């Protein structure tokens, strides 16, 4: 279950490249069954882990730390959604935790690798959306 939350966190946090990408991804994602979502999330996570390990040459500790950051991030977004009073407040808080997550990833993998990883994930999402 931890891996599912991690993967979902990665999917949603990195899909913020453009509003169009979000809409295309959300529409397709919402049409999937829970089992299909789980399978896609696991496959997406495996690909990302391979990229982090083999292309960016991150250590096991770095990849574990990234997993932990993503779990905390998705949990934070869940709490914001649950307890936020209105959409404007939720958006403000979500931007704050997203910026904090980005800063943590910069510390773990370095800004250059973080940018490469972001570009890699955005490319995967565009390809999945058929762009």
pLDDT digits (tens, 9 = 90+) for 78-111: 999 999 999 999 999 999 999 999 999 999 999 9
Q: How confident is the model at residue 43 (pLDDT cuts 50, 70, 90)?
A: confident
DSSP-based three-state secondary structure for 63: helix
Predicted confidence at residue 7, as pLDDT, reads 54
Mean pLDDT rounded to a whole number for the chain: 81
Cβ-contact 44, 124 below 8 angstroms: yes
Ranges of each domain in the chain: 2-128
Cβ-contact 44, 7 below 8 angstroms: yes
- The proportion of the chain whose per-residue pLDDT surpasses 90, expressed as a percent, equals 52
CA separation for the pair 131, 126 (Å, rounded): 5
Predicted confidence at residue 34, as pLDDT, reads 75
Cβ-contact 70, 9 below 8 angstroms: yes
Quote the Cα angle for 102-53-101, to 5°.
10
14 vs 100, more confident: 100
């Amino acid at each position: 279950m931890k891996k599912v939350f991690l993967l979902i966190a990665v999917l949603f946090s990195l899909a913020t490249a453009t509003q169009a990408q979000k809409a295309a991804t959300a529409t397709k994602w919402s049409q999937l069954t829970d089992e299909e979502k789980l399978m896609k999330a696991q496959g997406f996570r495996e690909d990302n882990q391979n990229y982090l390990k083999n292309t960016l040459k991150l250590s096991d500790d770095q990849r574990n730390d990234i997993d932990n950051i993503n779990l905390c991030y998705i949990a934070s977004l869940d709490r914001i959604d649950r307890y936020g009073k209105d959409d404007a407040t939720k958006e403000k808080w979500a931007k704050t935790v997203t910026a904090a997550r980005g800063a943590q990833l910069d510390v773990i993998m370095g800004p250059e690798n973080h940018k490469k990883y972001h570009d890699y994930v955005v490319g995967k999402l565009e390809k999945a959306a058929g762009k």
